Structure 1
Amino acid sequence: MFDTVHLTNMLRSEVEGIPETGLPLDAFPDKIQEIILNLARYENFNVEYTASIVLSAVATAIGNSCHIRIKGEWKTCPSLYMMLVGRPGLGKTPPLGFIYKPINEYDDRLHEKYNEEYDEYERAMSAGKHGSDGEEQLLKKPNFVTTVIYDSTPEAMMNIHQHNQRGITLVVDEILALFNSVKRYNSKNNLIEDLLTAYSGQPLKIIRKSESRPVLIKNPCINVIGSVQTNMLQEVFRAEFLANGLLDRFLFVYPKNRKISGWRREERNTARPDIMNQWRTIINRILSIPCILDDKGTTVNPRILTMSDDAEEYFYEWYNGIIDAVNAIENDADVESRKMKLNGHVARLALLFQVMKWATDSGDMQYIERDSVESAIRMIDYYEETYRRIQETIVINSIGETKEVWLSLLEERFTSGDAVIAGRKVDMSRRTVYYALDQLCRLKHPLIEKLQHGVYRKLMTENTDAPYTIALSSCQDTVQSSQSAKVQSATTLKSEDHE
């Protein structure tokens, strides 16, 4: 049966063109691959979104019940911050609702339990707090416990997490709504700082005048998943979120094929698999893993999974390759902070893959095995490639006529200082200039190349008309034919410089 499902998945993946997307679907256990492929067929879900949401949901279901030991005393829960990027109508929200449905059902059961306990509490309060023997009893007000939060203030979110030590997940239809809540609550909002702290596994301590006592979460486990439209990416990639490392903690899903699939009719008598029940069985098994607390109920004692010897050796060899590449960089400004977060991403994903194997009866939870680490690295390679394409999209969308003229003001070989001076002539800030230099070097078809620290060379010769416009035309639908007064002025300056 296993071989049949495995072979069938391979053939279906080839037919659906999944290898061309770059998504390593075969990294998932066969039963979960089958679910993802069936959702693509019967629900018209995008495979890349669906597979990634599966990881988010599994991370939510595990929560603080299991941690992975990365190195020494460095252990982490499997929480993920994930962003689904795409044009309107590409289908980001439907798979999110489907995949998270069993967890929402789990929350419904928690809510029913809370209502029963609260009704009992109110009856006892109205009876005068007395027991059957007539002695007064101290009654504890029940706490509302839930896992998935769709809309909440930062204060309420932390209160909910305090009462659900297993962990919580923020599911936001538009990720910008989450980021913009920072502005909504002004200086009182520490949401971004709390997310940074939680991701690092450090205790969250919230002290506010409105609270009768401080909120202390010793073992935070917060997942975040939301979507963003492609034309809003520049709002997400704001300098503040790049500087504080928030975006380094996000995994991005940006499908290569951005065309919306047409609907396919199924014959009415065609047998259809019970996809939801299959998926519910897997998630419920993961939710059944106990999240053990201490006697006070404030500290979790998770099951710690350690990598097997060959898995650890493979993991270290992979990460040492990144360390060697970083050590070879002389200028600190050229080091990408994102690369230094990849070890944590891979470890979390390796834990997810191992638990998924256990939940589908294709593995156990004695150790994190090598194939789980390999699967995690393949997924990170996929996410880093999507991140690179997002960066390329942002650059292409931001390079307008102003930046075209800025490039035209530069000689074929120029320094970063020359670029800053030219940038002033078209009102480009120093930060924007350095960002543009970096990103123009990273394009799939780079416009410039970095020869050495602070020295660049154009890769497009100036013996063609409007060379940079031509270079960009393949990525843009139209190119503006007229220049603004500022651009015309900058062009005049260039002519005067050559005279």
Structure 2
Amino acid sequence: MEAKKIKPVFDDLNNPATILKHVEGLKKTVEAEQKAKQNPFPVEAFPEPIQQIITATNESLKFPIDFIGTSMLYAVSVSIGNTHRAEIMRGYEQTAVLYLAIVGKPGTNKTHPLKWAIKPIEQRDNLKYQEYQRKMQEYETIAALTKKEREQQGYNEPIKPIWEQYLISDFTPEALVSVHSYNKRGLGVNVDELASWFKNFNRYNKGSEQEFWLSVWSGNTVKVNRKTSDQYNIPLPFISVAGTIQPGVLNELADNRTENGFLDRLLFVVPDNLKKEYWSETELSPSIVENWQTIISNLLDVSIIQDETNNPQPEILRFTPEAKQLLFEWQRELTDQSNKPENEAISGINAKIEMYAVRLALILQMVQYACNESNKQAVGMEAVQGALKLVEYFKKTAIKVHSIVSNASPLDKLPTDKQTLYIALPDTFTTNKGVQVAESMGMAERTFKRFISNKELFNNHTRGEYEKRY
């Protein structure tokens, strides 16, 4: 169905005073609409030590607030792994698994916050790898001996060591499952370009890899039975995913992934008015780095309980009565909203946001513990309040992304000044008349001519004459 055209506020382009008067009114209207659409990242959802780290890295390293905040959520998620789960009611548990997509144009500092946040985990991985190499040398030395030589030297049959790791970035599906089978605490997958992750879904075996990621997100048992590989059974998979993606390739992400709910499982990080920043002369305090390392170490040092078959047995955190009541009230409101016919388009978003509310509450409770601001005996009120602020943010970003991938009006993508100009222009106008309006709003003629060359916004049937498409 063709979109309704927006009528110009005025048609008298020969009266500069009329133009200026109406332009000022338009600016105020569009700015108010833009402000209503804004979605600031809720830094206040985090404990005070985390808020300080977010603020400091934003000031000194120019990390966008949204990017560093969600990157830290991801690092905490990986650090928790299968050590804990949250139970909102009997039979309904959620893990700390997150699928995060950090959206930004090149040069907007979207990669560095994620690298900074996971650095303490990478350092732990490096130490574990050094230990693995040492044990591997010992293993190979003993394995090279004959049985008699081992007996003479007092060695038992050697057991091949494994590399206990937390993060993985380059892998085949089979390799990932193999690594996870040895690292039952869980893994974090971080990819610099998330688009490559999606493109590889059908690279090795048609269709099955996407189903694998759907299953992992839900915490369903992973079973691999193939002639060409070993047999695996992972009853409690835990793989959190984070990566970056450019706005221009979001449509590739949505291709064939909306109907099965895969898109709704992703938490999108889409800051408002994101721009490339100047470098800062403010140095990051070493205490900020040390504090973050301590917080992550406190989580990584939490031991994982395993049963007699060496499968993880996560500690279950229930909710305090007041926290549970707040979460139930919020869920009822969300359900009522989802059941309205006009909101059918976001019902899928709401379904997954409901689960993420529990997951984020678990993450916030554990990070409170790691900051020495609470215990980990139950999920409390503060964690739930923070989680609800975060899911509200992620719900709005999900709606924004759905608008992009469903070919929403190009007007929504325009900055405020160009939206104002577009509304101010008559339905049809000549180049000269359009330049007059643009210059009255402070836009240079050359910039305006580039603007009206956008075929998504304007028709140009006759030379020098234009027609708005919306």
Query: Against the structure 1 CA distance between its residues 272 and 323, is the aligned structure 2 distance closer, same or farther, given a 3 Å change threshold?
Result: closer
Aligned 1:339-488 pairs, distance under 5 A: 339-394=350-405, 464-465=427-428, 477-478=451-452, 479-480=454-455, 482=459
Q: Sequence identity of aligned pairs in percent?
A: 29
In structure 1, C-alpha distance between the alignment counterparts of 2:459 and 2:371, rounded to whole Å: 60
Q: What 5-or-longer segments of structure 2 have no aligned partner?
A: 1-34, 417-422, 435-447, 462-470
User: How big is the shift at 1:201?
Assistant: 1.1
User: How big is the shift at 1:274?
Assistant: 2.8
User: How big is the shift at 1:52?
Assistant: 0.3
In structure 1, C-alpha distance between the alignment counterparts of 2:187 and 2:459, rounded to whole Å: 52
Counterpart in the other structure of 1:224: 241
Q: 2:45 aligns with which of 22, 27, 39?
A: 27
Aligned residues: 396
Contact 1:346 1:380 survives alignment (8 Å): yes
Counterpart in the other structure of 1:290: 303
Counterpart in the other structure of 2:441: none
Q: 1:264 aligns with which of 280, 285, 304?
A: 280
- Deviations 1:397-417, CA, capped at 9 Å, x for gaps: 7769xxxxxxxxxxxxxxxxx
Counterpart in the other structure of 1:56: 74
Contact 2:353 2:395 survives alignment (8 Å): no
User: How big is the shift at 1:272?
Assistant: 3.1
Contact 1:129 1:139 survives alignment (8 Å): no
Q: 1:214 aligns with which of 227, 231, 249?
A: 231
Query: Against the structure 1 CA distance between its residues 398 and 156, is the aligned structure 2 distance closer, same or farther, given a 3 Å change threshold?
Result: farther
Query: Against the structure 1 CA distance between its residues 255 and 138, is the aligned structure 2 distance closer, same or farther, given a 3 Å change threshold?
Result: same
Q: What 5-or-longer segments of structure 1 have no aligned partner?
A: 1-16, 401-438, 445-459, 485-499
Q: 1:234 aligns with which of 228, 242, 251?
A: 251
Contact 1:329 1:335 survives alignment (8 Å): no
Farther-moved stretch of structure 1 (23-32 vs 288-297): 288-297
In structure 1, C-alpha distance between the alignment counterparts of 2:271 and 2:74, rounded to whole Å: 17
Query: Against the structure 1 CA distance between its residues 97 and 134, is the aligned structure 2 distance closer, same or farther, given a 3 Å change threshold?
Result: closer
Q: 1:46 aligns with which of 54, 60, 64?
A: 64
Counterpart in the other structure of 1:152: 171
**1:306 aligns to what SS in structure 2?**
strand
User: How big is the shift at 1:111?
Assistant: 1.0
What is the TM-score of this pair, normalised by structure 2? 0.78
Q: Does 1:93 align with 2:111?
A: yes
In structure 1, C-alpha distance between the alignment counterparts of 2:367 and 2:232, rounded to whole Å: 33
User: How big is the shift at 1:133?
Assistant: 5.4
In structure 1, C-alpha distance between the alignment counterparts of 2:128 and 2:376, rounded to whole Å: 27
User: How big is the shift at 1:191?
Assistant: 2.2
User: How big is the shift at 1:237?
Assistant: 1.5
Query: Against the structure 1 CA distance between its residues 477 and 190, is the aligned structure 2 distance closer, same or farther, given a 3 Å change threshold?
Result: farther
Contact 2:366 2:376 survives alignment (8 Å): yes
Aligned 1:180-219 pairs, distance under 5 A: 180-187=199-206, 190-211=208-229, 213-219=230-236
CA RMSD of aligned residues (A): 3.1
**2:101 aligns to what SS in structure 1?**
strand
In structure 2, C-alpha distance between the alignment counterparts of 1:376 and 1:392, rounded to whole Å: 24
Contact 1:293 1:300 survives alignment (8 Å): yes
User: How big is the shift at 1:175?
Assistant: 0.7
**1:50 aligns to what SS in structure 2?**
helix
Q: Does 1:325 align with 2:344?
A: no
Contact 2:40 2:271 survives alignment (8 Å): no
**1:242 aligns to what SS in structure 2?**
coil
Counterpart in the other structure of 1:246: 262
- Deviations 1:255-313, CA, capped at 9 Å, x for gaps: 102111212224xxx7934322111011000001111111221x211111000001111
Farther-moved stretch of structure 1 (56-65 vs 35-44): 35-44
What is the TM-score of this pair, normalised by structure 1? 0.73
In structure 2, C-alpha distance between the alignment counterparts of 1:327 and 1:343, rounded to whole Å: 14
Counterpart in the other structure of 1:141: 160
Aligned 1:155-166 pairs, distance under 5 A: 155-166=174-185
- Deviations 1:160-210, CA, capped at 9 Å, x for gaps: 1111001011100111100111232242x6321111111111100011111
Query: Against the structure 1 CA distance between its residues 378 and 182, is the aligned structure 2 distance closer, same or farther, given a 3 Å change threshold?
Result: same
Contact 1:354 1:363 survives alignment (8 Å): yes
Q: Does 1:76 align with 2:98?
A: no
Q: Does 1:172 align with 2:208?
A: no
User: How big is the shift at 1:337?
Assistant: 1.6
Contact 1:65 1:289 survives alignment (8 Å): yes
Farther-moved stretch of structure 1 (389-398 vs 282-291): 389-398
1:142 is matched by which residue type in structure 2?
Answer: P
- Deviations 1:366-393, CA, capped at 9 Å, x for gaps: 1100111110010010111122222334
Query: Against the structure 1 CA distance between its residues 334 and 89, is the aligned structure 2 distance closer, same or farther, given a 3 Å change threshold?
Result: closer
Farther-moved stretch of structure 1 (60-69 vs 240-249): 240-249
Aligned 1:291-310 pairs, distance under 5 A: 291-297=304-310, 299-310=311-322
User: How big is the shift at 1:220?
Assistant: 0.4
In structure 2, C-alpha distance between the alignment counterparts of 1:323 and 1:372, rounded to whole Å: 21
**2:137 aligns to what SS in structure 1?**
helix
Counterpart in the other structure of 1:487: none
